[in-house]
Structure 1
């Protein structure tokens, strides 16, 4: 009997959930203990990440043979472009990133992995791996946006990037489930691959935050 897309995602998230709190930067921000410079660093890194992911999602959508996978990945690039434009206000509020002239490898490992998935992964399995981490990413962004207003006096424009990703978008979930279910039904999606992609995706996501935590907590 073929496992359902929902059951696969629930199983992946049960595996990943205990590690979501391994993010060491979020507690610093929510307590108001991170320096203002951390927001400049996040903005600088995310400008590169959103541009890279925009290209990666286009690439995997173009490569996907199954229509539901094309729809899921084809719907992601507009959000990356919109989010990228929101970072200008954060840069204006936080100032330029003075910490590094070059991007941080620990932060850019994440989009590099997304690019690898775009070129090599079965699209429906990549959809499962990527979407499985959306909940944690959204929760991180919500926490950051709340702390920015509470502890750092940022206005709505400066917080817009995080507000954008904190918002729930049911259409994205529906498209992800359709892509995953189609992959399962056709046998293209191997559940063990989806678990692997999700676990690595989470590791690279945490690497982004913890690279900055190590830099700005010393």
Structure 2
């Protein structure tokens, strides 16, 4: 199969797995400046748990993967490390102190997403995970762009406090190319099951929706 086929497969996954716009109750509130300070702080606190968990999952996937997929997962792991630094500034702007963070009990509905990413790291074919994650990242990037806009327009957060969301909202052409190369390699070796990857991607989107729904009702 050609590289174009790999791109088409990724494009189809992104389109078919796009979340229902009504499935996220919190992002529109932040975008309009209507989310409470408590909601923003909870978002920061939950992401403090998600980021390191995803980083370790991506590192494990890189160890299991073929060379093309390993490049993709290594880039993701490095990105999570960079995001962790940006997250600290956002958390500080939300009034999250070290003491508050240490005493925070994460919400199960928010942590289901990283738990499933960890399950994929242990059980799924890396090529299938590339396809599933790429579809999910498209939705996540859109959410981050809207949050960054709301924080800038309505909450007066400075650049460094918005950098976490700006980081994920920015286009990542290198990562897109790595995903395409990884999917192509998996296709060439028969290590890709599009139907199974679609199932993984669908579950990721459902867990993503659960994350936002849990935050939306908990604060």
- For the residues of structure 1 that align with 2:112 and 2:78, how far apart are their CA atoms? 22
Check whether the contact 1:93–1:154 (CA below 8 A) recurs between aligned residues: yes
Match of 2:184 in 1: 181
Match of 1:6 in 2: 7
| Bigger mean CA deviation after superposition, 28-37 or 8-17 | 8-17
**Runs of 4+ residues over 6 Å off in structure 1:** 97-100
Does 1:80 pair with 2:80? yes
Does 1:211 pair with 2:188? no
Unmatched runs of 5 consecutive residues or more in structure 2: none
Please provide the CA RMSD for this pair. 1.9
Match of 1:89 in 2: 89
Unmatched runs of 5 consecutive residues or more in structure 1: none
Check whether the contact 1:20–1:136 (CA below 8 A) recurs between aligned residues: no
Pick the aligned partner of 1:118 from 121, 124, 134.
Answer: 121
Shift of 1:18: 5.3
TM-score, normalising length from structure 1?
Answer: 0.93
Paired residue secondary structure (2:84): helix
- For the residues of structure 2 that align with 1:188 and 1:123, how far apart are their CA atoms? 8
Match of 1:102 in 2: 105
Q: 1:136-215 alignment to 2 at 5 Å? A: 136-215=139-218
Shift of 1:207: 1.0
Match of 1:29 in 2: 30
Does 1:61 pair with 2:62? yes
Shift of 1:21: 4.3
Shift of 1:183: 0.8
